[in-house]
Structure 1
Amino acid sequence: MNTRSRISILLAALWWGSLTGLGFVVVPMLFIQLPSPAAAGAMAAKLFTAQTWLSVACAMLLLLVENKKEAPALSPSAQAAMKFIVAGLLLAVLVEFGVAPRIVNARADGGNLRLWHGLGSAMYLAQWLAAGWTLWCLSRMPREGDATPG
């Protein structure tokens, strides 16, 4: 396995792992441990913003690493990975700049918090799936210089 392949897998693992840790461990623990849902929500919002920037960085670096100009065409696995990288990147940005401000506004003015929170959660889950599928595709992809089973 070459260095480029290892970097791609590490980036995808960081992206998926950070989404997993934050969304399925840290944020639920905030709501259990902090004294009020408002305090937990405020902290979760800050953590989700940090996660967005980590997701953007991982996705952009993955796109740079996986975009091989010397390769005439991407393999089907690489094409699938690229699609999921772009989808995950778009979902991260949409949640941060489209949904998160509406959640804040819904809390402040009594708007439809349940709707926006549900939409944000669904988009976070979709981003988690995109990052996971990216990791799956990149870890399964035959790489140049690898011995073929025979």
Structure 2
Amino acid sequence: MHPPIRQRVALLAAALWWGSLTGLGFVVVPLLFMQLGSPAAAGAMAAKLFTAQTWLSTACALLMLLLVLNKKDPAAHAQWAQVAIKFVVAGLLLALLVEFGVAPRIVSARAEGGNLRLWHGLGSAMLLGQWLCAGLTLWRLSRQPADTV
């Protein structure tokens, strides 16, 4: 028996979320810093990519929430509440906090000589937290029986 379409779409959204964070954070951005001539150029490009990642993360998280916050199927909602919804919400909040709270301070610290190391470290830690939330969501969704989500 095939899993319900909602479960398949939610699993795909979780996979896209985690995979995109993995590719960007562990492959693309390090390559930028290795291949581009200056850290400033690499940082500027990385900032644009992280902004795009924020919107992709937001879309994936909202799609997953819409799939499970369906009043027509309380069993699916109850299962999600126990399984993954807390990770989806936490990851979404981390993505938005990095974009609207930390990223502007990184830009400001670069321009005005502020504490760049602090804000960059905080942003990196929050990105790692988002990556863990996405990974736990994917892990939990991929192990659920087909009739529960």
Cα separation, 2, equivalents of 1:140 and 1:66: 16
Deviations 1:114-139, CA, capped at 9 Å, x for gaps: 00000000000000000000001111
Q: CA deviation at 1:80?
A: 3.0
Cα separation, 1, equivalents of 2:33 and 2:104: 20
Q: 1:95 to 1:110 in 2, by over 3 A?
A: same
Matches within 5 A, 1:114-133: 114-133=117-136
Matches within 5 A, 1:93-112: 93-112=96-115
- Equivalent residue, structure 2, for 1:113: 116
Cα separation, 2, equivalents of 1:59 and 1:8: 9
In the TM superposition, structure 1's runs of 4+ consecutive aligned residues that sit over 3 Å from their partners are none
- Equivalent residue, structure 2, for 1:55: 57
TM-score for the superposition, normalised by structure 1:
0.92
Q: How many residues align?
A: 145
Q: 1:25 to 1:91 in 2, by over 3 A?
A: same
Cα separation, 2, equivalents of 1:107 and 1:145: 48
Cα separation, 1, equivalents of 2:142 and 2:71: 21
TM-score for the superposition, normalised by structure 2:
0.93
Cα RMSD over matched residues?
Answer: 1.5
Cα separation, 1, equivalents of 2:19 and 2:66: 20
Contact 2:54 2:99 survives alignment (8 Å): yes
Cα separation, 2, equivalents of 1:85 and 1:145: 17
Q: 1:39 to 1:6 in 2, by over 3 A?
A: same
Gaps of 5+ in 2: none
